[in-house]
């Protein structure tokens, strides 16, 4: 499993400071809607400081929350203790889920498919671990569909990725989900300015399902 480098560790500390401000500006409401359909056994990849934990509905029997960054993982452990459903937090990456084939009801991705090192591998792992009919719930920022803004994100990505824990502002995550043996059941696209002064960046929020056997 890749160890967190000093650069990604410093991103973790920064994200722990900035994240609650994003939540107050609307990300918390996006997270609440993200997990509305969650139920049964859930794996949340890259859970950060556990900002989504308060919103898991009672239909969830348990969450395995994976977080590779030690600072964020410690915060997630504290958040898990206050969560409305049982949540286990552990080290781990999306590209290698500690779950048997076809064993999970729901995989949750929140602002993480931009950052995983290998997005196709992460999606393939989610599909492997989901039971037939299982759901992938996603809330992600994505490459703009506007030609000029998308090109600007392409230019920005190499530098931003180094500064922001491997985040890629130019990933077409909706296309990747649709191409990953998943059927997209709902997909909302909207602009969201995460922090004061930041541009409105394209986000997607939706549900995809693994085919029933």
Which residues of this protein are in contact with ligand SAM, per CB under 6 A? Answer: 12, 15, 19, 45-48, 51, 66-69, 72, 93-95, 110-112, 115-117, 165-166
Nearer CB in complex with ligand SAM: 132/189: 189
Where does residue 165 fall: left (phi above 0), alpha (psi -120 to 50 degrees), or beta otherwise?
Answer: left
Q: In angstroms, what is the minimal distance from the CB of 69 to ligand SAM?
A: 4
From 100, 135, 137, 92, select the one nearest 116 (Cα to Cα): 92
**Smallest gap, in angstroms, from Cβ of residue 165 to ligand SAM?**
6
Nearer to ligand SAM, 143 or 151 (CB): 143
Structure token digits, residue 2: 């890749």
The b-or-e profile of 42-67 (16+ CB within 10 A means b, else e) is bbbbbbbbbbbbbbbeeebeebbbbb
Question: Tell me, what DSSP letter sits at residue 24?
Answer: I
Under 8 Å between Cβ of 2 and 117: yes
68 or 169: CB nearest ligand SAM: 68
What minimum distance in Å lies between the beta carbon of 129 and ligand SAM? Answer: 13
Q: Which is nearer to ligand SAM, 93 or 99 (CB)?
A: 93
Residue placing its CB nearer to ligand SAM in the complex, 68 or 134:
68
Nearest distance, CB of residue 54 and ligand SAM, angstroms? 12
What's the min distance (Å) between Cβ of 147 and ligand SAM? 26
φ, ψ for residue 44 (rounded to 5)? -105, 120
Residue 46 in contact with residue 116, Cβ under 8 Å? yes
Tokens of 125: 């792992």
> CB of 89: closest distance to ligand SAM in angstroms?
11
Of 19 and 134, which has the nearer Cβ to ligand SAM?
19
């Amino acid at each position: 499993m890749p160890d967190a480098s000093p650069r990604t560790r410093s991103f973790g500390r920064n994200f722990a400071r900035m994240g609650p401000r994003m939540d107050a500006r609307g990300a918390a409401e996006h997270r609440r809607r993200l997990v509305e359909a969650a139920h049964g056994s859930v794996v949340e990849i890259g859970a950060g400081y556990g900002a989504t934990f308060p919103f898991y509905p009672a239909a969830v029997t348990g969450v395995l929350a994976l977080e590779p960054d030690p600072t964020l993982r410690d915060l997630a452990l504290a958040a898990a203790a206050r969560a409305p459903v049982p949540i286990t937090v552990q080290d781990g990456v999306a590209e290698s889920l500690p779950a048997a084939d076809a064993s999970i009801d729901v995989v949750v991705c929140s602002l993480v498919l931009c950052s995983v090192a290998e997005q196709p591998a992460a999606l393939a792992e989610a599909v492997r671990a989901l039971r037939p009919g299982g759901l992938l719930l996603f809330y992600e920022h994505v490459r703009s569909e506007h030609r000029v803004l998308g090109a600007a994100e392409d230019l920005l990505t190499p530098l931003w990725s180094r500064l922001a824990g491997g985040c890629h502002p130019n990933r077409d995550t909706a296309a990747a989900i649709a191409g990953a043996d998943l059927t997209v059941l709902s997909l909302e696209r909207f602009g969201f300015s995460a922090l004061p002064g930041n541009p409105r960046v394209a986000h997607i929020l939706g549900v995809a399902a693994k085919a029933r056997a």
